[in-house]
Amino acid sequence: MISPHVRHLRDQVGHELLLLPSTAVLPRDDAGRILLVRLIDSGNWAFIGGAVEPDESPQEGAVREVAEEAGVTVELGDILGVFGGPEYRVTYPNGDESAYVVTAFDASVVDGVPRPDDDETSEVGWFRPDELPLDEMGELTRALVRDLGLAGSLDDTRQPLLVLVTGLPGTGKSTIAGLAASLLGAPLVAHDWAMSGLRPFPAVETALDAMGPSGHGLVGWSLLRALAQSHLRRGSSVVLDGVARAPQVEILRSLADEEGAQLLIIMTECSDSAIHRSRVDGRRRDIPGWYELDWSTVVRSRKSWDADLPVDLKIDSANPMSNIESVVNLHLAPLG
């Protein structure tokens, strides 16, 4: 509910931007849980608080708001911070716009049992910092959560994605990997591009040739793992494009666990051999220093290929591209 003080100011300024000193109070229990209230007007969970009234100190306003919204008396602790900025500006349905400068207080309940007032608040609840209902909070409250360091950066509340797109050459793997990277706004790291960067060095080229195809795979996926880890460490999702088999998948699964990421595996296939071969024969990727595979190489690879490798999404590139894009978007959009 809008206080009489704020309503009086609104009568004077109309819908113009109003700068409001306000409070947020974080009562904590012995287990470290924080008392939140659910607001009737928005249905969102929020910290207890509100605008400071005329001739009222922030401390007095904080104690009053807790009594009004949650029905308890608190003893204030330290000031946790004073916050403002673009994310603390609120536009209400009627067009009113307010910019809040929020003084946040630590507190403990000294009298009463928390209960909603059924006027401004419909529910009260105790939450551990790692259980805060972020998906049911408004932007201002989420900004406070971030600025108070309660759940780390809000960017950290959503796991970064480690997306692996694997499949035999010519099955549309690189196309799907590029689509996934675009949907997620994530970097794309491709095995063949990474390996091509080693080709200009004769000593490295000689060593790689001596290792044979299996050695090439070990080197390539070691590079991809390191590059993926560098992105995940920054909290960024990343998409990997390469012919990965069970050992590489297990390496990436361990990496995802290590970095707190979600692993998503997409496998491409082509159920129409004629289409598959035409794509391989006509493929020109123009990767500097790298070679193009021919159909005979794909046939040999198929003999050791595990089409039943457990994956999250399998895509048949013999289907129309519009259908494939819809499937990928449906699967990835909620995760991005």
CATH of the domain at 318: 3.40.50.300
Residues of the domain holding 209 = 161-335
Instruction: Give the closest residue to 309 by CA, choosing from 253, 252, 273, 266.
Output: 266
Could you tell me which residue, 97 or 280, shows the higher pLDDT?
Answer: 280
Check whether 138 has a pLDDT greater than 50: yes
- Residue 294 and residue 181 share a domain: yes
The pLDDT score that the predictor gives to residue 10 is 44
Residues 29 and 77 in one domain: yes
User: For 51-55, 205-209, 250-254, 307-311, which range has the lowest pLDDT when averaged over its residues?
Assistant: 205-209
Q: Is the pLDDT of residue 9 over 50?
A: no
* Lowest model confidence (mean pLDDT) among 10-24, 69-83, 167-181: 10-24
Mean pLDDT of the chain: 88
Q: Which domain-ending residue is among 153, 171, 199?
A: 153
Query: What is the average per-residue pLDDT within 251-259?
Result: 95
What secondary structure letter does DSSP report for 148?
A: T
- Do 177 and 324 sit in the same domain of this protein? yes
- Write down the pLDDT at residue 93: 58
The CA distance from 180 to 129, in Å, is: 33
Assess whether 107 and 192 both reside in one domain: no
- Asked if residue 135 and residue 38 are part of one domain, the reply reads yes
Q: Which of 90, 118, 153 is the last residue of a domain?
A: 153
> Would the pTM count as exceeding 0.95?
no
- Last-in-domain residue among 153, 178, 213: 153
Same domain, 192 and 141: no
Q: Look at the chain and report how many structural domains it folds into.
A: 2
CATH number at residue 116: 3.90.79.10
| Whether 319 and 261 share a structural domain | yes
Percent above pLDDT 70 for the chain: 90
Domain shared by 34 and 113, yes or no: yes
